[in-house]
Chain A
């Protein structure tokens, strides 16, 4: 085998390795960007349920009383399909104190926890609000 051809083949091997590595890095970056979009959408879904719960408690003749809202969301599950991604939503309500601490529950305060998971188009399972770190909101029964 002549020297020139050997050198060319060596170059091919080296460049291929470099290219593969660079492609891998770029695709990792792309995954971060596109997963970010899914995380943002998950936060909007959580916000939707917070809005719903708050709105239904409003007014002199609310859609739900405080205790009805507690019951409705004590173990609520749903799913939402958006842009070919299915978001699995789990909501729980817990009586708590004014700081959201459930060690000293008071039925005038309720903490709503929202946890969402989904599978990204890349096949990763994404957790948007977890068991230990859910999206939380503390509501107070002002008794109107």
Chain B
């Protein structure tokens, strides 16, 4: 009888330990999975910001598009079309040989709580990039020549010389047991519009 009790006790304790071990393993798997997603998300976001080359074809990043603000635009034309906190639309030549393009960077209304980010070039219906998903709307701050923030940028296009873009990229994970809002890549980039300084 005593031996049977010991065996039962050991079984109970052993089961608890096994549960603990499996729980710990699953936690570690989740941590690893999130880290993997984090690295992938960071890579995607940086590719969007700085561009990438796939099979010999170069795709411009936001940095490249933003370098073109006002490029080749005559003094009589406003190089900036719209300047809001989640929408920046401007004119510029994408190459010395092209016409003047209209480029828009915008985060739109949320879908299931996350905000799609699009980049449009000339065709304002079909984006060249996007959607990229943001946990918060794109936030753009506009600055004047003295690096002072402009609080009504769309009424003061002439004063704009640089911008600060705040992104909070997020990944919708495939695992339902992982909080999909957990994986994020927050980043801030600045862009000085050199054509507007000339």
Contact = CB atoms under 8 A, between A and B. Distances in A.
A54 B14 CA distance: 68
B10 A5 contact: yes
A26 B38 CA distance: 14
Given A37-B185, A41-B187, A51-B191, 9 more contacts: A2-B10, A4-B9, A11-B14, A30-B35, A33-B39, A34-B38, A55-B162, A58-B198, A62-B197
Contact of A37 (B3, B42, B197): B42
A12 interface: yes
Contacts of B13: 5, 8, 12
A72 B77 CA distance: 33
A63 interface: yes
Contacts of A68: none
B186 interface: yes
A108 B17 CA distance: 72
A34 B185 CA distance: 10
Interface of B: 3, 6-7, 9-10, 13-14, 17, 20-21, 24, 28, 31-32, 35, 38-39, 42, 46, 145, 147, 161-162, 185-194, 197-198
Contacts of A62: 197
Interface string A39-63: 0110010011001101110110011
A92 to B, nearest CB: 19
A44 B3 contact: no
Contact of B28 (A7, A15, A26): A26
A5 B9 contact: yes
A132 to B, nearest CB: 26
A37 B7 CA distance: 52
A82 B7 contact: no
Nearest to B32: A26
Contact of B6 (A5, A23, A29, A33): A5
A44 B17 contact: no
Given A55-B197, A63-B197, A29 B187 contact: no
Interface string A63-94: 10000000000000000001100000000000
Interface residues of A, number: 35
B14 A8 contact: yes
A144 to B, nearest CB: 10
Given A37-B42, A58-B197, A59-B197, A30 B31 contact: yes
Contact of B198 (A22, A37, A40, A59): A59
B24 A19 contact: yes
Given A40-B46, A55-B194, A33 B188 contact: no
Contacts of B39: 33
A37 to B, nearest CB: 6
Interface in A96-141: none
A36 B147 CA distance: 28
B28 A29 contact: no
Contact of A7 (B10, B186, B193): B10
Nearest to B13: A8
Contact of A36 (B3, B42, B189): B42
Contacts of B193: 55
B173 to A, nearest CB: 16
